[in-house]
Structures are given as C-alpha cells and as structure tokens.
Amino acid sequence: MALKIGDYKTQVHNDWCVGCGDFGIVNAIQMALSEMQIPRHQAAIFSGIGCSGKTSHFVNVYGVHTLHGRVLTFAQGAKLANPDMKIIAAGGDGDGLGIGVGHFIAAGRRNLDLTYIIFNNGVYGLTKGQASPTLRLGEKTKSLPTPNTNYNVNPIGLAITSGFTFVARGYAYDVRHLKDLIIAAVNHKGLAFLDVLQPCPTYNDINTRDWYSGMDNLDESKKQHSRIYKLEDTGYDPVVHYDSETEFNEKLTQALIKSLEWDTKIPTGIFYKNEIISQYEKRIMDKIPNYMENPPSSQVVSSNGKPTTDISKILDSMSV
C-alpha cells in the first residue's frame, strides 16, 4: 500500500512560532519521503539542538534528536553501522556552522551517503535571537543590543571546499522546489548538503519573508524583484560529468562564484554535484570488500550466546 504524506506525520504538537519557515522544511521532508516511498523503518531523521532540532519528533520515521552541533557525528555513526538506512540530518545554522563546524568539515572529507539540511535563519532562535554564524557583519537584528561584530560563513562555499559532493540551496517558502531538492539530495550517491533559507519571524527582522520576496528590491522603474531565483532557470549546469581536473575545477569555481551572490540576487537550486569522487562506503570496501553486504549491524556475532569470532590465528602468533 502506498504511503501517503500523512503517514510520515506524527501526532506530536508542533510548537514552532506562527509563520516559521521550519514548517515548510518539515513539510518538504514529509513530501519527499512519501514521493520516494521510503518505508518508514528504513528512514531516520537525525537532528541537532534548537528549533530545528525538534524536526525529528514531527516526522514518523526513526527520529534521533541529538546534541548541539553534533548531529552529523550520530548520523554518520548510524550510517556506517547500517548503510541500508536512508538518513537525513537536520540542524540549525548556529548548530551546524558554529559549534558543529568541525564536524561539518570532517563529514565533507568523508563523503558518506547521507543528506544534511541546515535550517538557515541567521539567528539562534531558541535562546532568543543571538547572531548565528550566517548573519552578516554589521547587521543588527532586533534582539541584538549592538550590530553583529563577526563576518559570516558562507555555507555553500564551505560545503564545496570541505568535500561535500552535492551542494544545494532551497527556500523554506518554496516547499515544492525544496521537496525536489531533498529528493535529489537523498538520491545523490555521497554526502549532500542543503542550505535552506528559513526566515525567522520572531528574531530576524532583516532577512524576512518580505525581504526575500524583494519588497525593497526595486529597479529604476520601482518594480519589485524577488531576491530568490533558481539556478536551473538560468541554464546553470552543476554536474561534474567526467573525471578530469579541469572539469572538477570549473564546476567548483562556478559554484563558489555563485555562492557569493547575495543582497539583490540569491540563487537556489543545485550549485554542485559530483558523483565521481568516491563515497566513504566505497573507501571502506577497498579494505573490507564485503562491507556493504555484511555491515556491522547485520553481522552475526554469537550463536547460542557463544562468540562466533575466531581469534585463534592471532593468538597462535602470540604463542611462545
């Protein structure tokens, strides 16, 4: 029987603020799971701490709500032990790019086959609006006593240079587009990163829904232009098609240049996609050939309570 969107929803009361962009993201996740018809027990949402951390409770698949900045460590551990699971890690920008940025970079270098979504709103919502690592230098959102004193990280650029092999950006209020991006990310063979612009109606009074839709972004004729545009509408090709350094560098460079666009034109869609770089799973298989067919979680370690592992050869070499 086909699984409907409703099957991926829990009964848990959602306590996000009215108008929060997170609703769009969790809807897109549920839509994507249903469109892909992933059996509920084969999917898991891991989440970090903060408003976005609650995501795992709202989706009716395995849900692991972890620690501030640590979501990728748990998610990768689970994936390594059971590579058959479809795993989506979700977290905030403060969570993943502040306290968790070391794990972010390390995960990129590994390139395990999972999806990481950052709910990016420029503020720490659950602790009442402090500046997050993506908030621009000098910006003063309403709960900041003085303008932000730090330069911002560039999540897309950081992901590309850290080794993520699928890098995209979505917008929380374009749920269908976001759903498509999530599906593409989950289907990608390797580590996928999705930066989702998610206006915080309570604390970020600069990058608001109106700001993204361009209420103040006027041309000479006073016509309003949405800041958000889609890369795919411009003929942009993010895919690394063949194994050549030139091709790699070209695709990396164009993605990095795109990642710098902000203010009046903000690209969404897929920036970069590379399935030529090997997944971490394949790198393990170079050492452990049957890793995928007999991963840690499937191994039979005992029979009637007795170990099945035979260390006699090792002990022989230690015998005197």
Partner 1 sequence: MLEQTDISWLIGGPQGSGVESGANIFSRACAAMGYEIFGKREFYSNIKGEHSYFVVRVSNNAIHSNINDVTLMAAFDAETIFRHADEVIKNGAIIYDSDLIATKVDEVHNMDLNYKQRLLKYLDSKNKPYTIQGILDIAQERGVNLYPISFRNVLSTMADEVNNPRLKGMVRMFNVLGVSFSLGVLGMPPETLLSSIDAIFAKKQAIADLNKKTANYAYNFATAKFPNFMYRLRQVEKKSGTILVQGYQGTALGKMVCGCRFQPYYPITPASDESVYLESNEILDVKENRPGSTVVVQTEDEISALGMTIGGALTGTRSATCTSGPGFSLMAEMLGWAGINEVPVVITLYQRSGPSTGLPTRHGQDDLMFAIYAGHGEFPKMVYASGDIEESFYDTGRCFNYADVYQVPVIHMMDKFLASSVVTCKRFDSDKITINRGKLLDKIEGDYKRFAFVPDGISPRSKLGLENGIFWNTGDESDEYGHISEDPEIRIKMMDKRHSKLEYMLKTIPPEEQAISYGMSDYCIVSWGSTKGPILDAIDMLKKENINIGFIQMKLLHPFPTDYIKSLLKNVKMVIDVEANQTGQLGLLLKQNLEHSPDYYILKYTGRAMTSTELYDSLKNIMANKAEKRQVLTHGA
For partner 1, the binding residues (CB under 8 A) are: 10, 12, 39-42, 44, 46, 49, 54, 56-57, 60-67, 70, 73-82, 84-85, 102-103, 105-106, 284, 287-288, 290-291, 293-297, 299-303, 305-315, 317-320
In the structure encoding, which two tokens stand for residue 86, read together?
A: 């479809």
Distance CA 80, CA 316 (A): 31
Residue 287's CB is within 10 A of a number of other CB atoms, namely 7
The nearest distance, CB 289 to partner 1, in angstroms, is 9
User: What does 88-138 look like in DSSP terms, one character per residue?
Assistant: EEEEEHHIIIIITHHHHHHHHHH--S-EEEEEE-SEETTTT-EEPTTSPTT
149 vs 302, beta carbon nearer partner 1: 302
The nearest distance, CB 56 to partner 1, in angstroms, is 7
Q: Which residue stretches of 188-267 are H helix?
A: 209-213, 245-259
The nearest distance, CB 88 to partner 1, in angstroms, is 13
The nearest distance, CB 164 to partner 1, in angstroms, is 15
The nearest distance, CB 185 to partner 1, in angstroms, is 20
54 vs 169, beta carbon nearer partner 1: 54
Distance CA 189, CA 184 (A): 10
The nearest distance, CB 279 to partner 1, in angstroms, is 14
84 vs 243, beta carbon nearer partner 1: 84
Buried-exposed string 197-230: b where 16+ CB fall within 10 A, e elsewhere: bbbbbbbbbebeeeebbbeebeeeeeeeeebbee
19 vs 77, beta carbon nearer partner 1: 77
Cα–Cα distances in Å, from 42 out to 45, 59, 79, 116, 163? 10, 13, 11, 17, 26
